[in-house]
Amino acid sequence: MTADPTGSTVVGAPRLPAVDLFLLAAHGLPATVTYARAAEAAGLGGVWLAEHHFIAYGQCPSATTLAGHLLGATDRISVGTAAAVLSNRHPVALAEEAALLDAVSGGRFRLGVARGGPWVDLEVFGTGLPRYQQGFAEALDLVRRWLSGAATVGADGEFFTFRDVPVVPRPTRQVPIWVAATSPATVALAAERGLPLLLGLQDDDAAKRATLDRYVDVAAAHGHDPAAVEHASAHLIALADNRAAAERELRRTLPPWLATTRQYVRIDGSPPVHRDLDAYVEHLLRIHPLGSAEECAERLAASAAVTGVHHQLLMVEGAGPDGTAEQIAAIGADLLPKIPTMDLRPASG
């Protein structure tokens, strides 16, 4: 199965690769708008936007707001959130924004949500640690009901209680939702509902395959067809003359950017556990597509063969503010023409 431009599933169609851009707004918001327009010009299918608060790692505090701007600034590509942090938001407010964006864009909006982390965000926005720890499923189900096409929605739960209210604007279709998952509990929660996953940069193909194997077991046990679910997988990418040149450049640009993740503040005041940045950079270089267009196409094909995930989100901002636009242009000119020729069938078994 594959997805049509509205996000619906086409039964019996061949499963083809889909290549989008994954943007964290690392180089500022004006640059992010430029990158999205460049992605459309380069022929990519879409752009996905990360959301962060109070750290410089990503400078977009509202993925839906920026998505609305990018939908207005482009004509063809889809724009998704990867992901809107649901633990910081009222689910109805987020769902209303999603329904609005889906309506005004002609179905080009994609909603990805995340549990988030136990950060100070929960204190600032007043949602609190329990919403992060126990409230994600309830919030997600409320978003799903709001975007289901129902005429009215009410709630009588632990975290949300309100009378039935009209859904305005009322979606004319089930707006697609993805779930960013880094923990077994969130994977199981998405699988129970048959929702596709957004798989992150930190895991190699074997770890992603293990995550998806857990997903398959839970989804099937809850009556869903796992083969009909189109997950998406994020990949760091750097095009260069060869892999050694790409690695050399990323060893220069990645560490200062990744160091900004140390700005996270835990809500309980305890110090976060910091990664060994040099070791993490080497891990990323080892598992992601780097080098010539041929090398990167082969690596993406190999990833799809192991994981069975054919929707790939390419993260290019690791090239730094001076190299990102060039990377997007090279993806369009050099990489995309090679991807349809690659064998992206999932590995048997």
Measure the CA–CA gap between 117 and 114, rounded to whole angstroms.
9
Average pLDDT of every residue of the chain: 93
pLDDT band at 16 (very low <50, low <70, confident <90, very high): low
In this predicted structure, what is the pLDDT of residue 221? 98
Task: Give me the pLDDT at residue 10, please.
Answer: 34
CB neighbour burial string for 240-256, b if at least 16 within 10 angstroms, e if fewer: beebeebbebbeebbee
The average pLDDT across 241-248 equals: 98
The reported pTM is 0.92
- Tell me the β-bridge partners of 114: 85, 180
- H helices of 15-81, where? 29-42, 63-73
Question: What average pLDDT score do residues 40-51 get?
Answer: 97
Tell me how far apart the alpha carbons of residues 32 and 79 are, in angstroms, rounded to a whole number.
12
Strand pairing of 84-85 and 78-81? unpaired
- pLDDT score recorded for residue 272: 80
pLDDT, one tens digit per residue, over 107-119 is 999 999 999 999 9
Map 315-332 to HEC letters.
ECHHHCCCCHHHHHHHHH
332 half-sphere exposure, CB direction, 13 A CA radius? 18
3-state helix, strand, coil in the chain (%, to 5): 45, 15, 35
Q: Measured in whole angstroms, how far is the alpha carbon of residue 271 from the centre of its chain?
A: 27
The tokens 């942090």 sit on which residue?
Answer: 85
Could you tell me if 261 and 55 are in contact, meaning their C-beta atoms sit under 8 angstroms apart? Answer: yes
| Bond preceding residue 169 cis, omega within 30 of 0 | yes
User: In this predicted model, what pLDDT tens digit does every residue of 150-181 receive, in sequence order?
Assistant: 999 999 999 999 999 999 999 998 899 999 99
293-346 residue pLDDT tens: 999 999 999 999 999 999 999 999 999 999 999 999 999 999 999 987 544 333
We find that the CATH architecture of domain 13-341 is Alpha-Beta Barrel (3.20)
Exposed/middle/buried for 23, CB within 10 Å: 0-12, 13-18, 19+? buried
**Distances in whole angstroms, Cα of residue 166 to Cα of each of 93, 149, 157, 177, 258:** 13, 11, 18, 21, 44
**Cα distance between residue 115 and residue 183, in whole Å:** 10
If pLDDT is split at 50, 70 and 90, which confidence band does 15 have?
low
CB-based contact 31:321 (threshold 8 Å): yes
Which DSSP string corresponds to 160-197?
-EEEEEE-SSPPSS---EEEE--SHHHHHHHHHHTPPE
Residue 230 has a CB neighbour count (10 Å cut-off) of 19
What is the Cα gyration radius of the chain? 19
Alpha helices for 105-181 (secondary structure H): 121-124, 128-133, 136-146
pLDDT in tens, 73-111: 999 999 999 999 999 999 999 999 999 999 999 999 999
| Higher local confidence (pLDDT), 232 or 4 | 232
